[in-house]
Amino acid sequence: MLFIVATPIGNLKDITLRALEALQNSDAIICEDTRRTSILLNHYQIKKPMFALNDFNEAKQFPAVIERLKKGENLVLVSDAGTPLVSDPGYKLVRECIEQNISIDSLPGPSAVLTALTLSGLPPDKFLFLGYPPEKPSHRIKLFEDILKAKDIIKMTYIFFVSPYKLLKTLEDINSTLGDIELVLASELTKIHQRVKKEKVSTLLEQLKSPKGEYVMLFNLS
């Protein structure tokens, strides 16, 4: 059986009893980065074999993983942090399991998307998570232009993940397409230095000189 297990996004205490039980009872753990997952396992004194499944080796690992599951092994799928498959590898594995009638269970837990949304003060009743903005500037601008066109069709909160290396460029693209809107930036969620800041784009561009860490960006155009 394949278990999809959510893991802490920062604070190692944010893990469920079911998640710990699944990790402890597993035959092996499928992870994005064995170094990151080993921090969690060592903290809870769990010793299990690990192997990496990522965008680069996913197709190559498939046959061996599927074969182990067919033999009756219990494998746990985790990401570096939060709920697996949300902007992380694993979707293709889950799809293959469904096609081959291999049992799957998903254990709910931490999610940076929902944590940021509930802290943002933005309307939470309707939201659209769009993952990471496109790499190419022209594609990013096109996406923000499409959001602008859709704003009068349905009111919602838009949520993105943004890397520190793309943050300033993304803010500049938002400023040029959506205007000097207010948006929320959340970072270091659940950690000691958690930050949730609501400012206009122009203010953020002035304040953020060397962004660090991953960000959750949220805004509402209503």
Q: Mean pLDDT by 10-residue block, N- to C-terminus, for the chain (222 residues)?
A: 97 97 97 94 97 81 91 96 90 92 97 97 96 96 95 94 97 97 97 96 94 95 86
Listed as own residue / partner, the contacts of 49-56 with beta carbons closer than 8 Å and 24 or more positions apart are: 53/77, 53/89, 53/90, 53/93, 54/89, 55/89
Output the pLDDT for position 187.
97
List the domain range (segments joined by +) for residue 141.
112-220
> Residue 193 is part of a domain; what is its CATH number?
3.30.950.10
Output the pLDDT for position 209.
86
pTM of the model: 0.92
How many separate domains does the chain show?
A: 2
Q: Are residues 51 and 134 in the same domain?
A: no
Q: Are residues 15 and 68 in the same domain?
A: yes
Output the pLDDT for position 58.
76
Q: Are residues 19 and 60 in the same domain?
A: yes
Q: Are residues 23 and 79 in the same domain?
A: yes
Cα–Cα nearest to 15, from 85, 81, 106, 75: 81
> Residue 22 is part of a domain; what is its CATH number?
3.40.1010.10
Q: Are residues 95 and 151 in the same domain?
A: no
Output the pLDDT for position 221.
94
Q: Are residues 177 and 197 in the same domain?
A: yes
